[in-house]
Amino acid sequence: MRVLFLGDIIGRAGRKALQNNLKEIKQKYQIDFTIINGENSAGGFGITEDICRDIYSYGGDVITTGNHLWDQKEIVDYIAKDGNLLKPYNFPEGTPGLGFNIYKTAKDESIMVINLIGNVFMKPDDNPFLKVEEIMRKHRLGSDLKFIFVDFHAEATSEKVAMGHHLDGRVSAVVGTHQHIPTADGHILPGGTAYQTDAGMCGDYNSIIGMNKEPILERFLGMKSKSKFSPALGEATLCGVVIESDLETGLAKTIEPIKIGGVLGK
Candidate list 68, 139, 153, 178, residue with the active-site label: 68
The mean pLDDT of the chain is 97
Indicate if 180 belongs to the active site: no
User: Is residue 186 pLDDT above 70, yes or no?
Assistant: yes
- Estimate to the nearest angstrom the gap between the alpha carbon of 54 and the chain centroid: 17
DSSP label at residue 153: E
Of 18-22, 143-147, 184-188, which gets the smallest average pLDDT?
A: 143-147
Residue range 118-133, pLDDT digits in tens: 999 999 999 999 999 9
What is the arithmetic mean of pLDDT over 8-19?
Answer: 98
**pLDDT score of 71 more than 80:** yes
**Residue 197 and residue 152: Cα distance in Å, rounded?**
9
Helices within the chain (DSSP H only): 11-28, 49-58, 75-78, 128-136, 157-167, 213-220
Identify the pLDDT of residue 108: 96
What's the Rg (C-alpha) of the chain? Answer: 17
Q: What is the pLDDT of residue 266?
A: 67
Backbone angles phi, psi at 78, to 5 degrees: -70, -40
pLDDT of residue 226: 74
Q: Rounded mean pLDDT of 103-108? A: 97
User: What sign for the dihedral angle of Cα 62, 37, 87, 115?
Assistant: positive
Domain boundaries of the chain, sorted by first residue: 2-260
pLDDT in tens, 195-221: 999 999 999 999 999 999 999 999 999
Q: What percent of the chain has pLDDT over 90?
A: 96
Partners of 149 in beta bridges? 113, 173
pLDDT score, position 258: 97
CA atoms within 13 A on the CB side of 160: 26
pLDDT for residue 209 = 97
Provide the 8-state DSSP code for 9: B
Q: Is the pLDDT of residue 225 over 90?
A: no
Compute the average pLDDT of residues 21-39. 98
CATH of domain 2-260: 3.60.21.10
How confident is the model over 212-233, as a mean pLDDT? Answer: 90
- Is it the case that residue 9 has pLDDT exceeding 90? yes
pLDDT digits (tens, 9 = 90+) for 131-178: 999 999 999 998 789 999 999 999 999 999 999 999 999 999 999 999
Whether 88 has a pLDDT exceeding 90, the answer reads: yes
Q: Looking at residues 238-254, what average pLDDT do you find? A: 97
This prediction has a pTM of 0.97
* Closest residue by Cα to residue 83 from 104, 65, 95, 100: 100
| Cβ pair 71, 43 in contact under 8 A | no
**Amino acid type, 131:** K
